[in-house]
Amino acid sequence: MEIKVEVGDIQQHPAKAIVVNLFEGVKKPGGAAAAVDKALAGAISQLIEEGEIKGKFNELTLIHTLGRLPSPRVLVVGLGKQAEFKLDKVRDLSASALRYLRRVGAKTVASVVHGAGVGGLEPQQCAQAIAEGAVMGLYRFTRHKKKEEEEREIEELTLVELDAAGAAALRQGVAKGRILAEAANRARDMANEPANYLTPTMMAEQAEVIAEEVGLECEVLAREQMEELGMGALLGVAQGSSQPPKMIVLRYRGDRRRKGTVGLLGKGITFDSGGISIKPSAGMQEMKGDMSGGAAVICAMWALGRLKPRINVTAVVPATENMPSGSATKPGDVLRAMSGKSIEVINTDAEGRLILADAIAYARQQGLSPIVDVATLTGAMVIAIGKAATGCMSNNQELCQKVIAAGEAAGEKIWQFPLYEEYKEHLKSDVADLKNVGPREGGAISAALFLAEFVEDTPWVHLDMAPTDNADKEKGVWVKGATGIPTRTLVNLVLGLAQEKPPARRRSQQGGTPGHGRAAAS
């Protein structure tokens, strides 16, 4: 779908549908809706009077123009209460209005910039939200289905703006919104892909393609390199599978003069059967999405390659299957992680924290700081918070606040949980330095505390996205299936960090390979 910005009068636009809006409770349409109303001999006002149009959020009313306007259809969208109006609503409205018009069969659509006029929001941000909502809302995963004859597409969306002076900003908004949404859709594609089409090897190949496309460096560590580095935790998870594990590393260098590199880490379990501690079969197919954290990180890197902020970022994605077999890790086995710590594996289904332990150690060896990891880590997080938000935990409140704000800007809710010392004893083992699971209570927190053992003093935020990686129904920008969360959050975060004054330069004193000096703690 092409998205354009044009200067002009929307009622003159010949698109197959034009979209105007109104707030809840207004008696007379305003702005573009008023002009359209006039051309339609008061049809909108009449529908308001009769109570069919109330302006409630997400209310969609289709009016056929029968030759009174160049466009055959007008879609009136309700913006809801003016006091509750914000960018999230613009994004969601754009998604649902366009899905509706796709069903109607309108191939071309022209829309006013929702939120910019009476809405009082920043026009550029509204344009971004409309583009984001359009691209995310129209997402479908159809690769493995026979193409339906009837499959309809919207080919062109035009944002129509009266004032020529504002058009450049709208175009910028559209461009950024597109990139963010396309990045999220790519992450959705990866997460929706069945595990037989997305093995660790194929995930690494996709990362290579992405790197090539936007000019990132890509390095893929194979089993031998993992052995050399002593990644016993990751290898312990991988040893039950006949698919070889891959550690995917993508590097974006947007500021060669800046010391320090942000680390984005993502769980890349391409299928989580649970291993010997095997999961019940009901719902197990959903565990093809246990690499959504890794997908989000890889696709955020794609967006960064396109947006080119002045900052350095490295993504690290440990990718493997978690399978039961004669060679699989058994409950009670002890693994030696890259950091040197030994881990008693109580439950082989708590594999995410094992692979991330080695990813974190590798990230620290590379001098990455701060570190943000994203993972579908625990069912306990879903029990704790339901499915509305991603949980986060951190050893650095300032950084944590930035991640939460980046999520808010993306319409991806993030809620913080505590990392109280008290829970640490849950991970004490009789035979090793740590065990990989504690009791059921506070399970998401002990999982994060397990990671904290490897993070040590590096500023770090952990996102447990088990609640949000998958949507069970269509709503606003979400469609059924993978959500692409938290791809846009990560991009927003990095764009924000790039705007900050770089940390004071200091000579790299320890660790790190050349060009990867440790950043001063932020």
Q: Would you please indicate which residues are annotated as catalytic (active-site) residues?
A: 279, 353
Indicate the SS3 state at residue 387.
coil
| Residue type (1 letter), 463 | L
**Residues 313 and 261: beta-carbon distance below 8 Å:** yes
The per-residue DSSP string of 95-132 comes to HHHHHHHHHHT-SEEEE--TTTSTT-S-HHHHHHHHHH
In the complex, minimum distance from the CB of residue 482 to ligand BES, in angstroms, rounded to a whole number: 12
Size of the site for Zn ion (CB under 5 A): 6
Is 210 a binding residue for ligand BES by CB under 6 A? The answer is: no
Return the structure tokens found at 227: 């052995």
State phi, psi for 442 to the nearest 5 degrees.
Answer: 65, 30
Is 347 a binding residue for ligand BES by CB under 6 A? The answer is: yes
d(CA 74, CA 67): 12
**Residues 137 and 99: beta-carbon distance below 8 Å:** yes
d(CA 109, CA 111): 7
Q: What character string, x for contact with ligand BES (CB under 6 A) and - otherwise, covers 223-262? A: ----------------------------------------
* Cross-strand partners of 319: 246, 268
Widest CA span in the chain: 82
Sheet of 434-435, strand order: 334-336, 342-344, 434-435
Is 464 a binding residue for ligand BES by CB under 6 A? The answer is: no
Q: Residue 4 or residue 387: which is nearer to ligand BES going by CB?
A: 387
Is 290 a binding residue for ligand BES by CB under 6 A? The answer is: yes
**Residues 112 and 75: beta-carbon distance below 8 Å:** no
Helix extents (H) in 288-378 = 292-307, 352-365
Choose which of 349, 358, 412, 453 interacts with ligand BES (CB under 6 A). 349
Choose which of 37, 88, 351, 412 interacts with ligand BES (CB under 6 A). 351
Q: Which residue has the tokens 């859709």?
A: 185
Residue 365 binding: pick among ligand BES, Zn ion, none (C-beta 5-8 Å cut-off by kind): none
Q: Residue 94 or residue 243: which is nearer to ligand BES going by CB?
A: 243
Q: Residue 63 or residue 265: which is nearer to Zn ion going by CB?
A: 265
Q: What character string, x for contact with Zn ion (CB under 5 A) and - otherwise, covers 301-330? A: ------------------------------
**What's 261's DSSP letter?**
E
Residue 379 binding: pick among Zn ion, ligand BES, none (C-beta 5-8 Å cut-off by kind): ligand BES
In the complex, minimum distance from the CB of residue 351 to ligand BES, in angstroms, rounded to a whole number: 5
In the complex, minimum distance from the CB of residue 76 to Zn ion, in angstroms, rounded to a whole number: 45
Is 319 a binding residue for ligand BES by CB under 6 A? The answer is: no
Q: What character string, x for contact with ligand BES (CB under 6 A) and - otherwise, covers 263-282? A: ---------x----------
Residue 347 binding: pick among Zn ion, ligand BES, none (C-beta 5-8 Å cut-off by kind): ligand BES
Choose which of 119, 133, 370, 443 interacts with ligand BES (CB under 6 A). 443
* Cross-strand partners of 475: 478
Residues forming the site for ligand BES (CB under 6 A): 272, 290, 347, 349-352, 376, 378-380, 382, 437, 443, 466
